[in-house]
Structure 1
C-alpha cells in the first residue's frame, strides 16, 4: 500500500545550518539518530544539492528534504516521506510514523535553536525486557516508574536527571523530552510496538560514560 507523509517546518537557522543538521553525521546526531553501519535497506542511494535538497532512498521508500531561505536568517523545511508500507500494516502505520517525524522535527528545531553549529553524538540506551512489554499494554510499568522518578514533570518544569539538571521541553503520550545544558534527551515509551522503553541522548558535549549511566538508571526503573 502506498503512503505519503508531508510536513512543512519553520526552522530558526539558515539553510546552510539546516543542511549541516540533516546531511552530516554530527548534525543528524543532534536530533535524529546515527548508525555505525548503514541499515540493510538503506542501499537505494542519496541525491544531494547542498544546501537545498537531499533525497534518501531505501528499499521501497524515499525521504526528501527541501530547504528554502526565509526572512531573518531562518528557513523553511519541506519534507516528504513516501513509498510502499509493509503489507501487514494499515493506516495506523502512517499515523505512527507521522507522529514520530513530528517529534523528530521538534527536536531538530530545538537543536538548531539551542545548540547551533555544535557537533553532536547520539547515544541510545534501552530498559531491560519486561513481561508487560510483551503483553502490549498502553504503557509499561517501566514508563510509569521513569515518570515517577522524575516527579511526573510537565513542560517547562525543571528536573534532575542521571546526567544532570534540565528542563522539560516536550511531553506527550509515551514521550518525554528534556533539554540539559549540553544535550537533548528523549524518552520513548514503545510497549505498543512490543519494544522496551528507550532513551535517545543527543549530546553536544562530552559523551563519555553516558550510555552506561542511562543503562544503569533504566535497569533500576525496571
Structure 2
C-alpha cells in the first residue's frame, strides 16, 4: 500500500528571483545543478522530462508563474505512486531570494528509505544550486553522470574518494584538493560540500563535482553528478573519462 508524504526545504540564495527562476524552471538551468538532463515546456499544462541512465521520467507542469511559482507532477503509477514538486520564489532585500521547495506524493512499500534518501539528497542539490548561483550564474553547465552499483559501504567508499583528492583526515569545507583523471585536465579546487556519509562536493574555477552514496539499503551505489562550465567541453569524452575513473577507483 502506498504511503503519502510531504517534504519541505527552504534556502536563501545570493541571486535575484529572475536568476533563481532561470535555474529551476528551464532545462539548461536545471542541468547546471540537478541530476541528469532536463527539458521544460514553458507553459502550464506543458511537459517536463528528466533523463538519467537511459531512463526518462516525465511530468506535467501544474503551475507556471515566472519569477514566483513553478510546479510539476508525474502521472500515478500502477501502484498509485506519484511525485509532485513545487517551487515558491520570494525576493528579499539586497538581491537575495528565498526558495521554498515542497515535494509530495505517494511512495511505495520501501517508503521510509526513499523518504530519507530524498530528504538528504535535497540538501546536496540545494547546496549545489546555491553554489551555482553564487559562482556560475548566467552560465550553463554540462552535466556528467556516472554510477558504480555495489561500490562498498560508505566508510570504504568515502575513504577512496576523498583519498583520491588528497584528503587524509576529516573532510572540511574550504579544504584545498587536487585530483587527476586520465584524459582530463588536472582538477584543483576546494571542498564546498561535506555531507558525509551521504555526499561530498568540490568546486573549481570551472566546475562543480558531486559524489553521492546511495546507502546500503539502496545498493551501495556511488553516483557522480558533475556540472562542467568550462568552454570547449566534449561531453562524450568527459562522461567516458569519469566512468572509467569510477570503475577503476580502488575501494576497500
Q: For the superposition of Structure 1 and Structure 2, which TM-score range results when normalised by the shorter chain?
A: 0.7 to 0.9
Per-residue CA deviation, residues 163-214 of structure 1 (Å, 9 max, x unaligned), is 5101001112131100011111001122421153121111112332321221
Alignment of 1:126-165 (within 5 A): 126-127=147-148, 129-130=149-150, 133=152, 137=153, 139=154, 141-152=156-167, 153-161=171-179, 162=181, 163-165=186-188
Cα deviation for residue 154 of structure 1 reads: 2.6
Counterpart position of 1:84: 106
Q: Name the TM-score, length of structure 1 as normaliser.
A: 0.87
**Which piece of structure 1 moves more, 107-116 or 24-33?**
24-33
Contact 1:142/1:221 (<8 A) preserved: no
After TM superposition, give the deviation of residue 96 of structure 1 in Å.
Answer: 2.1
2:126 is matched with: 105
Within-5 A mapping of 1:187-202? 187-192=211-216, 193-202=218-227
Give the conservation status (yes or no) of the 8 Å contact 2:30–2:38.
no
In structure 2, the gaps of 5 or more residues are: 40-48, 51-55, 76-81
Distance 1:177 1:36 in 2: 21
The two structures have a TM-score, normalised by structure 2, of 0.78
Question: 1:106-159 CA deviation, whole Å, 9 max, x = no partner?
Answer: 1101100011111111111223x55x64xxx4x274443222222334321111
Q: Which structure has more strand as a fraction of its residues?
A: 2
* Corresponding residue of 1:215: 243
Length, aligned pairs only: 215
